[in-house]
Chains A and B, each alone.
Chain A
């Protein structure tokens, strides 16, 4: 008697205006409306949220950790993108 799977959703919550929505967990729901209500009932019961997004888990495309060398290492050597790369005499003050 295998139970049919109910779709999985990812929940993102904005805890305060001015902050971005942040991933806070997952849940199961048959459709988007029920997913939104379940997110409210599960993830905001201590006043954690002002706005909720729910996204079907299957709709997320993720990078592959096995490719992290190709994906992320090339950025590591571009130190000239950071302010500390440049020398400005102390007398000039904060810049």
Chain B
């Protein structure tokens, strides 16, 4: 007996909120995989702090999504009882940690976006989203600071670290476009003043990324083909494995309280 997946009525606002929740949960989960295995104890502390910030964001977004949906779901049902095709996170968030350079570049790309995005969302006409954004912005600002410092040290450190950092940038670049993509469902929320338009943030994001990469003696790739799919549930092969681990207890023991 395993617990079946729930169904969620994805109105535009529910879908929007789930996307943000899923980004935060999946990236936070990835970061939490480092706990006990980081390159130094000090960094173990830092990675766990970032993971805890993101998991906290995920919880508030899920709770809000459940309230907006009004079908008796809650944060745990939304996190633990949706299948891979129902997850709405960015592909970037679900990619495996790889080496420390991959983890930091992923964090850097995402945080540089999230910081701008949450700042823009602070003026959302939806008071709950604006409040979550205000809290998240402070967290992402620090994540950006921390990951930027590492990008500079890895890029301008040793020959080996430079090669690894450059490889991480090359590998992850194609997953950055999805952060700025908007579909019809989200377009309506942008027009209603509920959601911020991510496309408008891309120049500022690129400015941040370019400045840090240049200080780090790293080069941004020229290719502009971007992978898409996470927002509509077409994920990489990695997410299914992550979810089978994340959800194993809830799936194995239907309806149990923990």
Direct contact between A and B in the complex (CB less than 8 angstroms)?
yes
Residues of A that sit less than 8 Å from B by CB? 6, 27-30, 33-34, 37-38, 40-42, 45
Residues of A within 8 A of B40 (CB): 6, 28
For the complex of A and B, 9 pairs with smallest distance between CB atoms: A38-B42, A41-B46, A41-B45, A42-B45, A41-B49, A37-B146, A27-B42, A33-B149, A29-B42
Q: Looking at the assembled complex, report how far the CB atom of A28 sits from the nearest CB atom of chain B, in whole angstroms.
A: 6
Q: Looking at the assembled complex, report how far the CB atom of A41 sits from the nearest CB atom of chain B, in whole angstroms.
A: 4
Question: For the complex, what is the distance from the CA of A40 to the CA of B49, rounded to whole Å?
Answer: 10
Provide the B35-60 mask, 1 if CB < 8 A to any CB of A, else 0. Answer: 00000111101100100000000000
Residues of B within 8 A of A34 (CB): 42, 149, 153
Asked if A28 meets B42 with Cβ closer than 8 Å, knowing A33-B149, A34-B149, A37-B145, the reply is yes
> Residue on A with the closest CB to B48?
A41
> Residue on A with the closest CB to B44?
A41
Question: For the complex, what is the distance from the CA of A6 to the CA of B146, rounded to whole Å?
Answer: 19
Question: For the complex, what is the distance from the CA of A38 to the CA of B38, rounded to whole Å?
Answer: 14
Q: Looking at the assembled complex, report how far the CB atom of B131 sits from the nearest CB atom of chain A, in whole angstroms.
A: 19
List CB contacts (< 8 Å) of B164-216 with chain A: none
Provide the B126-162 mask, 1 if CB < 8 A to any CB of A, else 0. Answer: 0000000000000000100110010001000000000
Q: How many residues of B contact A (CB 8 A)?
A: 12
> Residue on B with the closest CB to A42?
B45
Contact A42 B149, beta carbon cutoff 8 Å? no
Q: Is the interface of B mostly helix, strand, loop or mixed?
A: helix
Q: Looking at the assembled complex, report how far the CB atom of A95 sits from the nearest CB atom of chain B, in whole angstroms.
A: 50
Residues of A within 8 A of B149 (CB): 33-34, 37
Contact A30 B153, beta carbon cutoff 8 Å? yes
> Residue on B with the closest CB to A38?
B42
Question: For the complex, what is the distance from the CA of A61 to the CA of B16, rounded to whole Å?
Answer: 57
Residues of A within 8 A of B45 (CB): 38, 41-42, 45
Residues of A within 8 A of B42 (CB): 27-29, 34, 38, 41-42
> Residue on A with the closest CB to B49?
A41
Question: For the complex, what is the distance from the CA of A42 to the CA of B49, rounded to whole Å?
Answer: 9
Q: Looking at the assembled complex, report how far the CB atom of A84 sits from the nearest CB atom of chain B, in whole angstroms.
A: 48
Q: Looking at the assembled complex, report how far the CB atom of A51 sits from the nearest CB atom of chain B, in whole angstroms.
A: 16
Given A45-B45, A45-B49, 5 new contacts (CB under 8 A): A28-B40, A30-B153, A34-B149, A37-B145, A37-B146
Which of B46, B145, B153 has a CB less than 8 Å from the CB of A38? Answer: B46
Question: For the complex, what is the distance from the CA of A33 to the CA of B148, rounded to whole Å?
Answer: 12
7 contacts between A and B (CB under 8 A): A6-B40, A34-B42, A34-B149, A34-B153, A37-B46, A38-B43, A45-B49
Q: Looking at the assembled complex, report how far the CB atom of A40 sits from the nearest CB atom of chain B, in whole angstroms.
A: 8
Residues of B within 8 A of A37 (CB): 46, 145-146, 149
> Residue on B with the closest CB to A40?
B142
> Residue on A with the closest CB to B42?
A38
> Residue on B with the closest CB to A9?
B42
Provide the B3-18 mask, 1 if CB < 8 A to any CB of A, else 0. Answer: 0000000000000000
Q: Looking at the assembled complex, report how far the CB atom of B158 sits from the nearest CB atom of chain A, in whole angstroms.
A: 12
Question: For the complex, what is the distance from the CA of A52 to the CA of B153, rounded to whole Å?
Answer: 22
Between A33, A34, A38, A41, the greatest number of chain B beta carbons within 10 A of the residue's beta carbon is seen for: A41
Question: For the complex, what is the distance from the CA of A33 to the CA of B49, rounded to whole Å?
Answer: 18
Question: For the complex, what is the distance from the CA of A34 to the CA of B152, rounded to whole Å?
Answer: 12
Q: Looking at the assembled complex, report how far the CB atom of A3 sits from the nearest CB atom of chain B, in whole angstroms.
A: 10
